[in-house]
Amino acid sequence: MAAFSSAITDDAIVRNLKESIVEKRKAEEALFSRYMYLINEGIHKYSLDEEESFNAYSDSILQAINNITSNTFENRSSLKTYLYKIFSNKCVDLIRKKTTNKSSVNRTAPISDMLTFISDPAKSVIQQLVEKTDYDRLKSCLDKIGNACKELLGMFSEGYADKEIAAAMEYKSADVVKSSRLRCLEKLRQVYKGS
């Protein structure tokens, strides 16, 4: 097993992303940590807020990892250039989404807003049905994404900080917890779409 440090090369990261679970996880951590400065670039160059830029960065890392492990990444450019291109595209997509009317045309009203038009006795019955249906569906979807993701998302929803989750679940750092949480949320989103 290769030792990972801040001096690990991009080639080693790419190679180890295709290895066993332990090496892959370390390579993911190294990749995530190495280019975090892009988050600041998203804030300054694309005028995104910190959360939007972090999400664009995390999505970029996930896409890069997926492309590397599925052999879509052909090594024609450096890993840094490749990741920067993905990140730039994610930032531009966010800007487009924020500035077009498409996002507001398809936006549905929250149920809580619609409940203001319903009489009080019916309101509580509808709220209970919605909450029960949402809870059952969420529980069913969580059962399909694996125990580690279920535990991580459960701790996060209970208000545990990323550092606390990292310690409890033996992750290397809070940043790894963040990227793992995003990966788990993406799994959950996919399961939700399919249910």
> Is the confidence at residue 101, as pLDDT, over 60?
no
Q: Which two tokens stand for residue 108?
A: 């549905």
Q: Output the average pLDDT for the chain.
A: 80
Give the pLDDT score at 35.
Answer: 92
> Mean per-residue pLDDT for 2-10?
61
- According to CATH, the topology of domain 10-102 is Rna Polymerase Sigma Factor; Chain: A (1.10.1740)
Structure tokens at 184: 């788990």
Nearest to 148 by CA among 181, 125, 115: 181
pLDDT bracket for residue 128 (50, 70, 90): low
Integer CA distances (angstroms), 184 to 46, 62, 127, in order? 27, 11, 28
Reported as a single tens digit per residue, the pLDDT across 25-72 is 888 888 998 999 999 999 999 899 898 999 999 999 999 998 998 988
pTM: 0.52
Q: Where does CATH 1.10.1740 sit in the chain? A: 10-102
Q: What is the pLDDT of residue 6?
A: 54
83-111 b/e (C-beta count within 10 Å ≥ 16 → b) = bbebbbebbeebeeeeeeeeeeeeeeeee
Q: What is the mean pLDDT of residues 83-95?
A: 93
5, pLDDT greater than 50: no
> What are the tens digits of pLDDT across the range 134-193?
667 777 888 888 888 888 888 888 888 888 888 999 888 888 888 888 888 888 888 877
* The pLDDT of residue 106: 53
pLDDT tier for residue 4 given thresholds of 50, 70 and 90: very low
Q: What is the pLDDT of residue 3?
A: 42
Give the pLDDT band of residue 105 (cuts 50, 70, 90): low
- What is the pLDDT at residue 116? 52
